[in-house]
A and B are shown apart, each in its own frame.
Chain A
Amino acid sequence: MEKINVKVCMGTTCFVMGGANLQELNDIIPRKYGDKVEVNASPCLNLCSINWEYSKAPYVKVDDEIITEATVEKVLETIENKLGNN
């Protein structure tokens, strides 16, 4: 099974619009999923420049899936779904 890859955008916009709180994922994910899920802080993913700009920040990418207005709960839910599907 391939590892699920989580990219938390640490660009200024995402960070300011709520992404600061997502840093918790760096602790939660390894504890919860071990090596099944990999989590990385990423420089600006350039998602804020598309479409709705900062309105939908913060962004997180779980594999190819983009989570808008991301929260810790939303990210964990997406991971759960992926793990269930695999």
Chain B
Amino acid sequence: MNNAGQAIHLKKEILVRIIKAFLSDNFEEQARLIPYAMRPKGMEVPYRCCVYKERAIIKDRTIAGLGFPIEEDDETVSLATYAKKATERKEISDKNLTVLQAACQGCKTNRIYVTDLCQGCIARPCLSSCKFGAVSIINGRSVIDDSKCKKCQMCVQACPYNAIVKITVPCEDACPVGAIKKDETGFASIDFEKCISCGKCISACPFGAVHERSQIIDILKAIKSGKKVIAMVAPSIAGQFPGSIYQLKTAIKKAGFYDVYEVAQGADITAQTEAKEFSERMHLANEKATEWLNEWVNEGGYGEKPETQEDDNVQHFMTTSCCAGYNQLIKKHMPEIKPFVSDTKTPMYYTAEIVKQAYPDSVTVFVSPCVAKRAEGYENPNVDYIMNFEELGALFVAKKIEILECEETPYVKESSKQGRNFGFSGGVAESVKASLKNENSVKPCIINGLNKESIRQLRKYAKSGECDSGCNLIEVMCCEGGCIGGNATMNNPKTAKKLINELSEKSQDIEKV
């Protein structure tokens, strides 16, 4: 869920205008006019110092909407040129985020700061609490020497007046892997070597400075050229738009797509494959355990533990593998957990495979709740483009498609209750459990959102080879609440989950494997 309020409203409005411009007779000119249309002469200036700055910033945001990095803009190139370049573009970039650095100026760097509430007390707990000698008293008040401060926050806790505060940079705070930093120039930038594309910075920044590099023009271009463009909608889409998912299918087709597939269909395959894999892996563990026990007993229960215990193949837990953010985390930061991660592919993978088999000449578009799927899509040759929920919404707005007025169209294959529940925390583990004949063999544990704490926990499990309290299936979801908490979702997770449940309750149970 994106908390950036008005900033997100602005981003969506820009997307609508970009799409309208593309659909008009003169894309380049209409794109050039976007900042002027949104901030016309004489308009009251809503956020910044003047209308010129407003327009400059809208221009930057439009660059991201056209799919280009804002950082590389030298301000001389007009939006008309960007629009032209977007239509000529053949390939998309693997760097899927871009920062509007001009918006970062309003944000103070991460530091510990003594406010005017400092009473200059006699006890001076701040002074004694600091282990680094960073606090000193100047003119009867506490002052922090930033060059010595380690940001441990002991003084913050020590002050009885709550006079010392930690000034946070929301994007830095939100990033679970330290990939976004406000540097000495005061601008945030993303280190793509570290970035796991989780999108938490997008949701966290109150200035809306972090943008996804949209592929909407590439998608519209494919539709315009008459290709069979197929939308594959993530399970979390139920509850993100008005009406039913069947009405949504009609609406998406009206928007120009050739056909629409539920990714929940692929989720069913993920659940069943993962269930099989789970029982094989855990069966091996049980077998080995019995083997050791027998050997040990035969030897009279003495001596060294048998060597087989070092066997890497024997594991006591498995983690799910459907979350793109988690998969990026494993790849870039936590290779040690890889052996414990299920080899089963994601719902998007299986769905794209099905679509490409049915329509080999199609262009596939995954409709996504988050930016992480852009990273996964980039690596999967069966997935051509990613369009997030906001972009789909903007497309509906631009084309004036009323979902509630659409007929219901059935999907090629009805997905199961469990597949449709993939988009919220707990849903995936439940689906694996429901796919097994022996449901009791699953003892799930849920990682509901990746953050510094849960990452530490996962590292611990990988190192010890054991999960807390005998759990054997760890479901990992990068976003709090699951995919319904993704950065590009439009509904609050609570309502979204309620709406998904309404749909899944009417769906049949998954077949056991």
Chain A residues within 8 Å of B390, by CB? 16
Contact A15 B405, CB 8 Å, known A54-B13, A54-B16: no
CA distance A17 to B251 in the complex (A): 17
Which B465-503 residues have a C-beta within 8 angstroms of A?
490-492, 494-495
Question: Inside 8 A of A10's CB, which chain B residues have their CB?
Answer: 242, 404
B73 CB-CB contact with A under 8 Å: no
Residue in chain B with minimal CB distance to A71: B5
Helix, strand, loop or mixed for chain B's interface?
A: helix
Q: Is the CB of A55 within 8 A of B13?
A: yes
Query: What's the Cα separation between A24 and B491 when bound, in Å?
Result: 10
In the bound complex, residues from chain B placing their C-beta under 8 Å from that of A24 are 492, 494-495
Chain B CB within 8 A of A69 CB: yes
**Cβ contacts under 8 Å, B396 to chain A:** 12-13, 16
Q: Hey, which chain B residues are within 8 Å of A23, CB to CB?
A: 491, 495
A69 to B6, CA, bound (A): 9
Q: Is B393 an interface residue (CB 8 A)?
A: yes
Chain A contact residue count (CB 8 A cutoff): 17
Question: Is B394 close to A, CB under 8 A?
Answer: yes
Pair B404/A13 contact, Cβ less than 8 Å: no
Q: CB within 8 A of A20: which of B9, B16, B38, B495?
A: B495
A residues less than 8 Å from B494 (CB atoms): 24
In the assembled complex, which residues on chain B have CB atoms less than 8 Å from the CB atom of A21?
Answer: 490-492, 495
* CB-contact partner of B402 in A18, A44, A55, A69, under 8 A: A44
In the bound complex, residues from chain B placing their C-beta under 8 Å from that of A18 are 8-9, 490
Q: Mark B240-263, 1 if CB is under 8 A from A, else 0.
A: 111000000001000000000000
- Tell whether B12 is near chain A: CB-to-CB under 8 Å: yes
Say yes or no: B495 contacts A11, CB within 8 Å. Answer: no
Instruction: A20 to B12: give the CA distance in the assembly, Å.
Output: 14
A43 at the interface (CB under 8 A from B): yes
CB contacts (< 8 Å) of A44 on chain B: these are 402, 404
**11 pairs of residues in contact across A and B, judged by CB atoms under 8 Å:** A11-B402, A12-B242, A12-B403, A13-B397, A15-B403, A15-B490, A16-B394, A43-B402, A43-B404, A44-B402, A54-B13
Return the 5 tightest CB-CB contacts between A and B, nearest first: A16-B393, A20-B491, A20-B490, A10-B242, A12-B396
Beyond the given A11-B404, A12-B404, A16-B490, please list 5 additional residue pairs across the A-B interface where CB-CB is below 8 A: A12-B393, A12-B402, A13-B397, A17-B12, A55-B13
